[in-house]
Structure 1
Amino acid sequence: MGSAVDKRAAHADPATNEAMLTYLADRPEPDQSPLRQRAVDVICVVVSAALPVGFWIALATGHTEVEEPLQWVDLIMATLCAPLVWWRRRWPTTISVVVSVLATVATLASIAQGITLLTVAVHRRPRAVFFAAAVFVATGAIYNVVRPSPDVPYWVTFLMVNLLAAGLVAWGSFIKARRALIASLRDRARRAEEEQHRRVEQARQLERTRIAREMHDVLAHRISLLSLHAGALEFRPDAPPDEIARAAGVIRTSAHQALQELRDVIGVLRADGGEAERDRPQPTLGDLPALVTEARRAGATIDLDVRVDDPDTVPDIVGRTAYRVVQEGLTNARKHARGAAVRVTVSGDRGEGLTVEVRNWLPLRSAVVTGSADQIPGTGTGIIGLGERVGLAGGRLEHGPSTAGDFRLTAWLPWD
């Protein structure tokens, strides 16, 4: 039965499965309420005592008489069996066997005997169920010998006892299987809900990590420009007024853009990664000239060579990743090779992939030593984050000194 239900659930509509699991998760477990258990126990005891109590009332009112001593035994045994039903949950097999033995000479105890066997079938394993059913059939056979029916053959009554026992066991097994199925579906619903919560939290964490990486890439570029121009003003306090004004304008513009981009990112973090991040325009390959122009205004010597026929056909994720590679390369060049010429090359075609290369000459050791005091600070994790970004795009990232004496940052990105 469980496999059939699982097959139907597998082919059902996902919304229907979700609604069913939600219903089962909220539905109370069977037999979990003590009040409900006590109510069912009271009903079972009352039903079991209905026949003997009715017989006692008939005797008291004179509507019937006891014709033979065996009827007194029947009445007394049935009266004893009724309260035993109350403890059938605690000792199902024992109570069922005791009631069956007492019912050997008690016709009025048949209801209690059936209830206790049904309880064993619901709550116990097959071995205990088989044992209780065997005692039920054996005591029924003995009863038909002790008190045979004059109108029905023995084999018919024996067959009826077997069919009754089989029906009770089948009914109890059905209830047991149904409860197990509901419990498994309820557990599945709980696990699915927990898994959904984990996926939501993981998605939020990944989104926040991506935004933090975006913040590093953007602000590192802007702040490096600020540091470079501020250092130039500090180094040349006697510069012409127009140069000082131009440098101050670049500092003001870079600071304004950095604050604006920081405000956007913080707004996304406060909104838990909502629509604001997707609505904010992201840089693409077509924005490289503007990036290089901005760096040139800061005094950097940059040679840009874009060998792509139509940059607009480059996928957004590839163009955005290429932009970040160039941005990180220019930022690192300003940090570690100030004043060195930088060459940026972007080439590729559909099917071959996009190659982005940023090269700059390594500074002399003396320049590194003399310039260490005003070195632009950094966390040293920009290349690591860039490698993760390129890896997520399905590409490869290489960096390090080359044999020609320059530093080379190269990324290959798939372009299908």
Structure 2
Amino acid sequence: MTTHPTSVLARRLLAGELTDGGPSHPGQVRRSARDWVVDVLLFGWAVLCWAALFEQAEAKTYLPGWLVAIDPPLGALACLSLWLRRRWPLGVALAAVPAAALTDTVVGALAVIIFNLALRIPPRTAALVLLLHLAATLPYVLFYGVPHDERWTIAAFVLVFYLLFFTWGSATRARRQLVLKLREDAVRARADHERRLADVRRAERRAIAREMHDVLAHRVSLLSVHAGALAYRTQRTAAGEGTALDDSEIAESATVIRDNAHQALEELRDVLHVLREDEEEDEEEKAEPGAPGKPGTPDGARPQPDLTRLGELVDEARAAGQTVRFDQELPERAEGAGGYPLRPQAQRTAYRAVQEGLTNARKHAPGRPVEVRVAGAVGQELTVRVSNPLPAGHRSTGPAGAPIPGAGAGLTGLRERLELEGGTLAYGPRDGTFTLEVRLPWPVPESGYDAGP
């Protein structure tokens, strides 16, 4: 369930400008419950000030009669204008200039108007309007100060009065702008987080697709070869072109198919287990000196593919009927120590490259010999090359003549793996031979490496 950015309680306790980004456009007024309470209190305070000063108006005998007459109406209009200050802050401030210049009952409303001016109008414009108020008010104070010998004291008070409420409004404006800026940063950070999360999810889906293809395509192609051979022999027998399969041959073929199906399920389970955990943390945190098994191998899971298991991969291909020549030139001392000084992810990528090459040869060039060569040295690079002669007509058929499907996703996934490892991929036909070549950097381990004599 998605929660709203601002809760109901927050909308009631915060100013309208601070709830959900404020009004959709400057002319719109969106008062929160807090705003209504504040408006009522400020209006009441302004009316009380107007009433208190209205009672003293008749005592100001030193003022001209016309000033005494217009004082209460102008002050009352200023009080009523407070209800419009949110929508038209600049207009209300300008309209209050005559009242501020000629009346005393406007004091309560004027404090709110000046505060509102600094709060809602840009600083430069607000400062100009403030100067206009001072220019209009000070002559009245200097000419009609009470008593006349204290006019400078009253002028200083008026100046402090204006600056106090203007400064207060400016500080409140700065605080609200800071809150809105922090909210924008939070929204932007949330959007960035969601975008990164979406990118991570897409990367995870690509990783899952690569692993699924690499594991299942290899095993399913082996199943297809064995099942195709069995179907081919059966069809020839039915046509009277070959000898019938005896029970032992049928049982052997069924056993091979069953074992490969079980193997595919086991490898699929291992892939899913690996994909649930971060590879780096899995290899660094779970590796324990002296512990049995391979470092970083989860309990209950088989070791992940690496360079030491290339022989098993080639043997499986040979058992499926492929003719494979396998040459390997790797550091012998590292092999004798039980592992190669190369990151497990890079070793897995090299393994998948050989697996992809054998699978493609089995799909697209059945019956053709395959040559696999793996060579490399620490501080140089690791090279994997899988090549096979192109079949006549480039047809992709199995032993029984049925095409083995393939969407080309394996090479795409392999290229993505190599991009993550900083390697390169090259493949294509040349001089009647299809070659897949992978190159991976093989840096010197940080702990150093002794290549031996």
Alignment TM class, shorter chain as reference: 0.7 to 0.9
Give the match for residue 12 of structure 1.
none
Aligned mate of 1:225, from 203, 222, 225: 222
Give the match for residue 276 of structure 2.
274
Q: Where do residues 65-84 of structure 1 align in structure 2 (5 Å cutoff)? A: 66=59, 68=61, 74-84=71-81
Q: Where do residues 80-119 of structure 1 align in structure 2 (5 Å cutoff)? A: 80-119=77-116
Q: Distance between the aligned counterparts of 2:398 and 2:355, measured in 1?
A: 26
Cα distance change, pair 342–293 in 1 and its aligned pair in 2 (3 A): same
Give the match for residue 374 of structure 2.
346
Give the match for residue 37 of structure 1.
35
Q: Is the 8 A contact 1:345 1:358 kept in 2?
A: yes
- Secondary structure of 1:44's partner? helix
Q: Where do residues 286-365 of structure 1 align in structure 2 (5 Å cutoff)? A: 286-309=308-331, 310-311=334-335, 312=339, 313-365=341-393
- Secondary structure of 2:105's partner? helix
Aligned mate of 2:50, from 44, 49, 52: 52
Amino acid at match of 2:190: E
4+ long deviations beyond 6 Å: 366-372
Q: Across the two proteins, how many residue pairs are aligned to each other?
A: 384
Q: For residue 241 of structure 1, report the CA deviation from its aligned partner.
A: 4.5
Give the match for residue 410 of structure 1.
437
Q: For residue 147 of structure 1, report the CA deviation from its aligned partner.
A: 1.7
- Secondary structure of 1:344's partner? strand
Q: Distance between the aligned counterparts of 2:309 and 2:144, measured in 1?
A: 102
Please give the per-residue CA displacement for 1:63-100, whole angstroms capped at 9, x wherever unaligned. Answer: x9746356565455434432222222233233223333
Q: For residue 176 of structure 1, report the CA deviation from its aligned partner.
A: 1.6
Aligned mate of 2:429, from 387, 395, 401: 401
Give the match for residue 7 of structure 1.
none
Amino acid at match of 1:274: R
Q: For residue 104 of structure 1, report the CA deviation from its aligned partner.
A: 2.9
Q: Tell me which moved more, 210-219 or 128-137.
A: 128-137
Q: Tell me which moved more, 344-353 or 133-142.
A: 133-142
Q: Tell me which moved more, 239-248 or 293-302.
A: 239-248
Q: Distance between the aligned counterparts of 1:252 and 1:369, measured in 2?
A: 22
Q: Is the 8 A contact 1:99 1:112 kept in 2?
A: no
Q: Distance between the aligned counterparts of 1:325 and 1:179, measured in 2?
A: 59
Please give the per-residue CA displacement for 1:240-273, whole angstroms capped at 9, x wherever unaligned. Answer: 54443332221111111223444566x679xxx6
Give the match for residue 283 of structure 1.
305
Q: Distance between the aligned counterparts of 1:379 and 1:98, measured in 2?
A: 76
Cα distance change, pair 245–344 in 1 and its aligned pair in 2 (3 A): same
Q: Distance between the aligned counterparts of 1:127 and 1:365, measured in 2?
A: 81
Amino acid at match of 2:360: N
Give the match for residue 136 of structure 1.
133
Q: Is the 8 A contact 1:105 1:146 kept in 2?
A: no
Q: Distance between the aligned counterparts of 1:43 and 1:254, measured in 2?
A: 82
Q: Distance between the aligned counterparts of 2:69 and 2:394, measured in 1?
A: 119
Amino acid at match of 2:322: A
Give the match for residue 193 of structure 2.
196
Q: Distance between the aligned counterparts of 1:215 and 1:234, measured in 2?
A: 27
Using the size of structure 1 for normalisation, the TM-score is 0.81
Percent identical pairs in the alignment equals: 38
Q: Is the 8 A contact 2:219 2:264 kept in 1?
A: yes
Q: For residue 303 of structure 1, report the CA deviation from its aligned partner.
A: 2.0
Q: Tell me which moved more, 363-372 or 65-74.
A: 363-372
Amino acid at match of 2:200: A
